[in-house]
């Protein structure tokens, strides 16, 4: 054997050893797939856990290929999350413990305000070990006496997972106030606090912005247009007949421009002839507050949003039946959500009002 051949063999063996050592040094990640209703609410608790590398929102469990947010339910899929994790830093059993603390495992027909098979809770195992751990965990939970109904969460073999549209990824970060409003409004937090106690989520804070918190003046000035800022923060009034929604006849809801709180519906909107959007009643009475306004040498009733404390307008007693009220509002205080976008924007519970 020539010297060149021997050198080549040594070099090849050395390269093999180097590649092997590099491969051994690389973390060996695994995947866990869970469904627990709205995938916005399922991403947040897992994303900052030590050892979790990535959490994706998506669709799985069905037969139809390439599902989208508009057809995943028709294709038999559920909303789910897929977790990539390092088993050397966090175990599958630990992930299961966090999973149970996010859902109602006794509900076979959905989760909280989200109803239908596309929102049912499920565990999708990727190997026999995950299946065994999931079954054991569910059995122990069922015997714990924590629930007064049977635990019915499905344990299924993992099938292709399809990543959801980008606007669904990390929704709790991109839209923190709207996320917190949706999460609280769905009843999820109230139920989980009752079952597990308020310390159930010590593993990760869900969002840095508390429900209803008000952004600083500097942040608001960056976020809002000058007119929006003047109306909502300085009790200003926009020009009549020269504002965005006075003549808007599209079906949908009007939400606070800052917090996203649902305030009024197009179903209660009427033409008052004043040049401002007018409504006979609020969509969610609990989301508005009223206070006496003595400016301009008269006494009026000011209307503000409860969470963001935005000035919205005034309410008068000269409206049409059935309430006899006229909520005269400023377009600049609102963002309009068309009925076709309600679910996508996190206001799916109001969709039924427009389907009658």
DSSP secondary structure string for all residues of 247-272:
T---SEEEEETTT--EEEEGGGEE--
CATH number, position 325: 2.170.150.20
Q: What percent of the chain shows pLDDT beyond 90?
A: 63
Among 113, 101, 275, 124, residue whose Cα is nearest residue 193: 101
CA 244 to chain centre: 27
Q: Which helix (H) or strand (E) holds 21?
A: helix 3-25
**Residue 186 belongs to a domain with what CATH number?**
3.30.1060.10
Do both 187 and 323 map to the same domain?
A: no
For residue 21, pLDDT over 60 is answered with: no
Same domain, 34 and 173: yes
How many structural domains does the chain have?
A: 2
| Better pLDDT: 272 or 298 | 272
Q: Say yes or no: 345 and 238 in one domain.
A: yes
Q: Could you tell me the residue range of the domain that residue 187 belongs to?
A: 30-196
Query: Is the pLDDT at 293 greater than 90, yes or no?
Result: no
State the DSSP code for 198: T
Mean pLDDT score of the chain? 87
Q: State the distance between the two ends of the chain, measured CA to CA, in whole angstroms.
A: 87
pLDDT per residue over 198-246, tens digit each?
656 543 333 333 333 344 677 788 889 999 999 999 999 999 999 999 9
Whether residues 186 and 307 share a domain: the answer is: no
Inside any domain, residue 21: no
Q: Per the domain annotation, does 212 fall within a domain? A: no
In a domain, 120, yes or no: yes
187 and 42, same structural domain?
yes
207 assigned to some structural domain:
no
The answer to whether position 211 is within a domain reads no
229 is a domain residue:
yes
Q: From the CA atom positions of the chain, what is the Rg in Å?
A: 26
The pTM of this model reads 0.57
**Nearest CA-CA partner of 194 in 94, 113, 109, 104:** 104
Q: CA 299, CA 305: separation in Å to the nearest integer?
A: 20
Cα separation, 176 vs 153, in Å, equals 29
175 and 258 in a single domain? The answer is: no
Same domain, 192 and 298: no
Catalytically active residues, by annotation: 38, 328
């Amino acid at each position: 054997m020539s010297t060149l051949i021997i050198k080549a063999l040594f070099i090849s063996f050395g390269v093999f050893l180097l590649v092997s050592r590099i491969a051994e040094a690389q973390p060996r990640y695994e995947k866990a797939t869970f469904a627990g209703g709205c995938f916005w609410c399922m991403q947040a608790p897992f994303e900052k856990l030590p050892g979790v590398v990535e959490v994706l929102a998506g669709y799985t469990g069905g037969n139809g290929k390439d599902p989208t947010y508009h057809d995943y339910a028709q294709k038999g899929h559920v909303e789910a999350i897929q977790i990539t994790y390092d088993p050397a830093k966090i175990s599958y059993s630990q992930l299961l413990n966090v999973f149970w603390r996010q859902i109602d495992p006794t509900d076979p027909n959905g989760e909280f305000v989200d109803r239908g098979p596309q929102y049912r809770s499920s565990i999708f195992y990727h190997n026999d070990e995950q299946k065994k751990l999931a079954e054991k965990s569910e059995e122990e939970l069922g015997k714990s006496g924590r629930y007064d109904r049977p635990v019915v969460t499905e344990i299924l073999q993992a099938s292709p997972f399809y990543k959801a549209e980008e606007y669904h990824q990390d929704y709790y970060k991109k839209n923190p106030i709207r996320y917190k409003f949706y999460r609280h409004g769905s009843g999820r937090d109230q139920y989980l606090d009752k079952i597990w106690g308020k310390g159930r989520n010590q593993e990760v804070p869900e969002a840095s912005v508390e429900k209803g918190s008000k952004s600083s003046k500097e942040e608001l000035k960056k976020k809002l247009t000058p007119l929006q800022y003047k109306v909502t923060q300085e009790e200003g009034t926009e020009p009549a007949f020269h504002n965005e929604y006075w003549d808007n006849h599209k079906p949908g809801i009007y939400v606070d421009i800052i917090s996203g709180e649902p305030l009024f519906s197009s179903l209660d909107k009427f033409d008052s002839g004043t040049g401002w959007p007018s409504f006979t009643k609020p969509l969610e009475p609990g989301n508005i507050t009223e206070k006496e306004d003595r400016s301009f040498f008269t006494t009026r009733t000011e209307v503000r949003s409860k969470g963001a404390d935005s000035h919205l307008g005034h309410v008068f007693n000269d409206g049409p039946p059935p309430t006899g009220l006229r909520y005269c509002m400023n377009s600049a205080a609102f963002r309009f959500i068309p009925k076709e976008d309600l679910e996508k924007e996190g206001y799916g519970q109001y969709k039924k009002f427009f389907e009658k």
